[in-house]
Structure 1
Amino acid sequence: MSPLRRLASQTALYGVSSILGRFLNYLLVPLLTYSFDPAEYGVVAEFYAYLSFLAVISTLGLETGYFRFRAGGEWPPTIVYGTVLTCLILVNGLGFLAFVFWQEPLAVLLRHPEHPEYILWFAGILLFDAIGALGFARLRAEERAIRFAAIKLIEIGANIALTILFIGIARAAHLADPGSVLGSLWDPGVGIGYVFIANLAASLLKLLLLSPQLVDGLGGFDLLLLRRLIGYSLPMVIIGLAGIINETLDRAALKYLLPYDDATNMAQLGIYSACYKLSILMSLFIQAFRYAGEPFFFNYAKQQDARAIYALILNGFVIASVFLFLLVTLYLDLFQYFVGADYRSGLDVVPVLLFANLLLGIYVNLSIWYKLTDRTLMGAGVSLIGAWITIGALLWWVPQYGYWGAAWAHLVCYASMVILSYLLGRRYYPVPYNLKRVLGYIGLGIGLYLLSRWLVSEGWPALGIGTACLAVFGALAGWEIRRLLKVA
Structure 2
Amino acid sequence: MSVFKKLFQQTFIYGLATVLPRALAIVLVPLYVEYLAKEEFGIYASLMAFLILGNVVLSYGMETAFFRFINKEASRKKIVQSTALTSLTVSSLLFLVLVLPTRESIASFLEFDSEYITYGLIILTLDALCVLPFVWYRANERPMQYAVIKILNVVINLGCNLFFFLVLPSLASNETESFWNTFYSEENKLAYIFIANLIASACTLVMVLPVYFKIQFKFDHAIWKQMLRYAFPVLIAGIAFSINEAFDKILLKYLLPADIAEAEVGVYAACYKLGVFMTLFATAFRLGIEPFFFNHAENNNAKQTYATITKYFTIFGSCILLIVVVYIDVFKKILIPEAEYWVALSIVPIILLANLCLGIYHNLSVWYKVTDRTRYGAYISVFGAIITLVLNFVLIPILSYMGSAIATLAAYGTMMTISYFFGRKYYKVPYNLKRIGSYLLIAVSFSLLSFYVFEGNLIAGTLLLLVFLLLIVGLERKEVQRIIRR
For 1:213, give the aligned amino acid: V
Partner of 1:322: 318
User: 3-state DSSP class of the match of 2:356?
Assistant: helix
Question: 1:423-453 CA distances to partner (integer Å, 9 max, x unpaired)?
Answer: 1000011111110011111112122223334
| Aligned mates of 1:453, 1:250 — CA distance in 2 | 24
Partner of 1:472: 467
The 5 Å alignment of 1:303-452 reads 303-337=299-333, 338-339=335-336, 340-452=338-450
Displacement, 1:476?
3.5
Give yes or no for contact 2:85–2:217 (8 Å, CA) kept in 1: no
Partner of 1:128: 126
Overall identity of the aligned pairs, in %: 37
Displacement, 1:132?
0.7
For 1:46, give the aligned amino acid: S
| Aligned mates of 1:220, 1:312 — CA distance in 2 | 41
| Aligned mates of 1:73, 1:35 — CA distance in 2 | 52
The 5 Å alignment of 1:27-42 reads 27-42=27-42
Give yes or no for contact 2:172–2:184 (8 Å, CA) kept in 1: yes
Give yes or no for contact 1:242–1:383 (8 Å, CA) kept in 2: yes
Partner of 1:186: 184
Question: 1:69-123 CA distances to partner (integer Å, 9 max, x unpaired)?
Answer: 11113543221111101000111111111221101111111112xx312222111
User: 3-state DSSP class of the match of 2:454?
Assistant: helix
| Aligned mates of 1:311, 1:93 — CA distance in 2 | 42
Question: 1:442-470 CA distances to partner (integer Å, 9 max, x unpaired)?
Answer: 1121222233346635xxx8222233322
Displacement, 1:64?
0.3
Displacement, 1:148?
1.0
CA distance 1:359–1:179, shift in 2 (3 Å) = farther
Matched, 1:274 2:270: yes
Displacement, 1:473?
2.5
Partner of 2:15: 15
Displacement, 1:410?
0.4
| Aligned mates of 1:465, 1:294 — CA distance in 2 | 39
205, 220, 232: which is aligned to 1:234? 232
Partner of 1:300: 296
User: What are the ranges of 5 or more consecutive residues in structure 1 without an aligned counterpart?
Assistant: none
Displacement, 1:241?
0.4
Question: 1:296-335 CA distances to partner (integer Å, 9 max, x unpaired)?
Answer: 1001101110000000000110011111111111000011
Displacement, 1:153?
0.7
Displacement, 1:127?
1.0
| Aligned mates of 2:138, 2:263 — CA distance in 1 | 39
| Aligned mates of 2:482, 2:78 — CA distance in 1 | 37
| Aligned mates of 2:387, 2:129 — CA distance in 1 | 32
Give yes or no for contact 1:60–1:236 (8 Å, CA) kept in 2: yes
Alignment length (residue pairs) = 481
Give yes or no for contact 2:454–2:461 (8 Å, CA) kept in 1: no
| Aligned mates of 2:467, 2:76 — CA distance in 1 | 51
What is the TM-score normalised by the length of structure 2? 0.95
Partner of 2:26: 26
Displacement, 1:194?
0.8
Give yes or no for contact 2:133–2:208 (8 Å, CA) kept in 1: yes
Question: 1:384-414 CA distances to partner (integer Å, 9 max, x unpaired)?
Answer: 1111111110011011110000000001111
CA distance 1:24–1:245, shift in 2 (3 Å) = closer
CA distance 1:268–1:454, shift in 2 (3 Å) = closer
User: 3-state DSSP class of the match of 1:76?
Assistant: helix
For 2:121, give the aligned amino acid: A
Give yes or no for contact 2:173–2:180 (8 Å, CA) kept in 1: no
User: What are the ranges of 5 or more consecutive residues in structure 2 without an aligned counterpart?
Assistant: none
Question: 1:50-84 CA distances to partner (integer Å, 9 max, x unpaired)?
Answer: 00111101001000000001111354322111110
Question: 1:140-183 CA distances to partner (integer Å, 9 max, x unpaired)?
Answer: 11111111111111001111110111122213544787765555
For 2:191, give the aligned amino acid: G
* Greater CA drift, 116-125 or 28-37: 116-125
Displacement, 1:420?
0.8
Partner of 2:259: 263
209, 212, 216: which is aligned to 1:211? 209
For 2:296, give the aligned amino acid: Y
Displacement, 1:126?
0.8
